[in-house]
Chains A and B, each alone.
Chain A
């Protein structure tokens, strides 16, 4: 096991746990970021995509002659043309297939049907209007329940052996043990709820610039990708291009949140078009294209049942889940787990038995199932258990904080093996809950709630708690791979002769602050100040292989790799220092940024002096230079936890509600840069609120997407977004070299349940037990009026 060094320690004063202002800010505040839209190449063409207006239809014919005749149009690419090159279909990240451009049928509204490549973006869009597609509409399947009915139209009739709309069936836990637990229970409570389809909607849409050199065959593709190395391999496999000739460059990314993990048809067609035409091709998606066709998230129909004894001790958990996958199974997730890490549904609770049954169905909707600020479906799991605990608290007449506390996994149980097979690394849940209760002023708010109830006030108060635990940092390669590629990650560190350094990583940030945080890791280990370190990510020709940034995995994997490679260089530096100081290696001690001779502290060599010597005066027989690379395969996932408490005020006359206080206590282990960590938590809380309050990609009965632009798909502005009060506890990960656990998604995973619990709690005395997200005021009003009273 690697050693844990918590910050700040006497050995390494300074860089750990310090809110170093972000190094990457300089270019962004000057308007000098370099996003994909900013990539302009000589002779570049522009591509636009024609999309299906129908959710389900047979394509009778496509006539592109008028479009081709428009001056400035260079090519119109259709599925038929791609089929000639065996490129009409491509694999998804879950091992299914997805159309690049439709050939036989369209299977969701917004599906890519044809692409125009033109000299100018305006001409490309003009030409879309001139393409005539003759469709024969087919009945659309718009719910997973309908999809699994006998006689439902078969959506994937293109797939050999696919006889119905079932995608997968997967179970976790122990069915018999769970049945026994339920048989012996005093109380069983249940909740049926729907986690609606949502969309990450980063403010920058997807796009690429593909430049295939017709002479050398080299394909350079600038792409909005959170996982450029994996994409390179997928491109090699799909397009049959030799992998050494593919360079994926992921430039600055304007937010990702899981949306920019998959391969999208636009990338493939732009690359194919560049290959066929011999000129660079740029494709920049519009917002409608982004919302209706790229990776959605959630869309889980869930029923949970909790067995309890008379005192409120949890005995067992039984979960059934049906997911709406759209027309292709495209979850970006470890291949061993068919519903991601949804079986993490036991959460923070010591549940002796659990059984989880999951099914997925095809529908006439966009594919996706991306990990939207979430470690592979843990968001849905966390929501279900945290809502279910609140339902149980009301039904058995217990305080929801007490019910949680008495059922938490206890500190002496770690490492804790859960009933569904996870091994939690470390945790101490009660202090986080207690701190949150104290900060929210729990007793006073409860008293105020009672007073308002007694007075029959129009504005009622509710308190919503969520004590979540998540599992992230995939992953140990024995269990975690995507399309067979193991989920390790990597770091390459080169210290230059003048003592400055470049750190190259296999991950790719989208605003998470890696250029600062990872520089701090090296600074902590080697004493080179962060401003002397460049962190490079995203260019597959110039970074070591890695699986990318999503599921909060960067600090758990690449962060560990960065620390370990720095430690390796420190050992080499020790040898050089011993040579320079003419002492034995054991006679040296390391402090912050230098080796000194034990007992003769005036005899020192700083890391900068050692780096210079590594290139100018290194010992004979030793390789010159101070460089190294580390591939890190974590021994386990990490298990950060948090308690979020929301106080909401609900107007029972109108159903309108506002969060009036939001307290977050996060424990993500050791914090490298607390300012950046808090920024991640506030962003996550905002998305948690967004999902609870307004975000939904909905469809009508014909499969028309209602939510295809920012007028219909609502994301919160500064006005609706509440103020957040943040606090922390620190339980280091015992297996991460720095004790870190990762944090980018905790608040999105945990907080939606806190918001919903707060609203339901405010009206539970009126008989309301559940309101599904998004908790619109109309739904609150309806729930109050439908309640038994």
Chain B
């Protein structure tokens, strides 16, 4: 099937098998390798991308379901060589270790902060609870999201 998806701002048209998973389309057809696969049961969230601005687990969608819609992956977060505040905060707060969960975590955090720019710790923990991290114990991820929230509100002032 022929699909057209807006990926990180540019339209991409490809021929895909109807059963191809969205995550395989992103990784193997588009060559964007920041989305990973970590489970078979929609549990881990390392495959998370933003579909029309909202987080989805791309292992649990077919590529054809994204036809006509827009996707943001981690590769689209930085603009003009400038890290997104969420990316910068994951770095400054040591919010990553092996980095495998990181793209998904950061995309969830970005979408969440757009909806809730001044969240509590509890709200942040709830927001990222669909994404597992095996390395950090989450505390520095929470700190990173808080730091990003502060930086984003400074910028928008």
Which residues of A pack against B, CB within 8 Å?
Answer: 21-22, 24-33, 35, 37-38, 40, 121-122, 201-205, 252-255, 257, 284, 286-288, 510-513, 675-676, 678-679, 682-687, 709-711, 715, 717-719, 721, 723-724
Contact = CB atoms under 8 A, between A and B. Distances in A.
B137 A685 contact: yes
Contacts of A711: 41, 43
Contact of A255 (B32, B98, B125, B128): B98
Contact of A204 (B20, B24, B36, B137): B36
Contact of A709 (B43, B46, B106): B43
Given A31-B35, A37-B36, A201-B134, 4 more contacts: A29-B99, A122-B20, A202-B100, A203-B133
B53 to A, nearest CB: 18
Interface stretch (B62-70, B87-95, B149-157): B87-95
Contact of A287 (B17, B24, B39): B39
Contact of A202 (B17, B20, B103, B134): B134
B97 interface: yes
Q: Which of B28, B46, B139, B142 has the most CB of A within 10 A?
A: B139
Given A37-B36, A38-B33, A203 B83 contact: no
B125 A203 contact: no
* Nearest 9 pairs of A and B residues by beta carbon: A31-B34, A28-B99, A511-B98, A254-B100, A511-B97, A710-B43, A31-B74, A682-B137, A686-B137
Interface string B105-131: 010000000000000010011101111
Contact of A22 (B91, B121, B130): B91
Contact of A25 (B34, B75, B90, B135): B90
A512 B97 CA distance: 6
Nearest to B97: A511
A591 B129 CA distance: 49
Contacts of B51: none
A724 B100 contact: no
A122 B63 CA distance: 14
12 contacts: A21-B91, A22-B94, A27-B99, A29-B96, A30-B87, A32-B33, A33-B33, A287-B44, A676-B94, A679-B140, A711-B43, A718-B124
A47 to B, nearest CB: 16
Contact of B140 (A203, A682, A684): A682
Contacts of A37: 27, 33, 36-37
A203 B102 contact: no
B96 A28 contact: yes
* Chief secondary structure at chain A's binding surface: loop
Contact of A718 (B35, B44, B138): B138
Interface of B: 17, 19-20, 24, 27-28, 32-41, 43-44, 46, 73-75, 78, 83, 87, 90-92, 94, 96-103, 106, 121, 124-126, 128-142
Nearest to B107: A31
Contacts of B41: 287, 709-711
A204 B97 contact: no
Nearest to B103: A31
Nearest to A120: B17
A24 B135 CA distance: 15
A255 B135 contact: yes
B130 to A, nearest CB: 8
A686 B44 CA distance: 16
B61 to A, nearest CB: 16
Contacts of A686: 136-138
B97 A683 contact: yes
Contact of B132 (A25, A121, A203, A682): A203
A512 B112 CA distance: 28
A56 to B, nearest CB: 25
A687 B137 CA distance: 8
B45 to A, nearest CB: 9
A31 B134 contact: no
B128 A718 contact: yes
Nearest to A200: B134
A35 B83 CA distance: 22
A683 B34 contact: no
A709 B39 contact: yes
Nearest to B21: A122
A593 B75 CA distance: 38
A201 to B, nearest CB: 7
A287 B132 contact: no
Nearest to B127: A718
A280 to B, nearest CB: 15
B137 A721 contact: yes
B137 A254 contact: no
Nearest to A726: B139
A454 to B, nearest CB: 31
Given A511-B99, A512-B97, A710-B43, A30 B75 contact: yes
A254 B103 CA distance: 12
A255 B73 contact: no
A98 B120 CA distance: 51
A255 B94 contact: no
B33 A203 contact: no
Contacts of A27: 99
A513 B91 CA distance: 12
Given A22-B94, A25-B91, A710-B39, A252 B78 contact: no
Contacts of A685: 137
Contacts of B34: 30-33
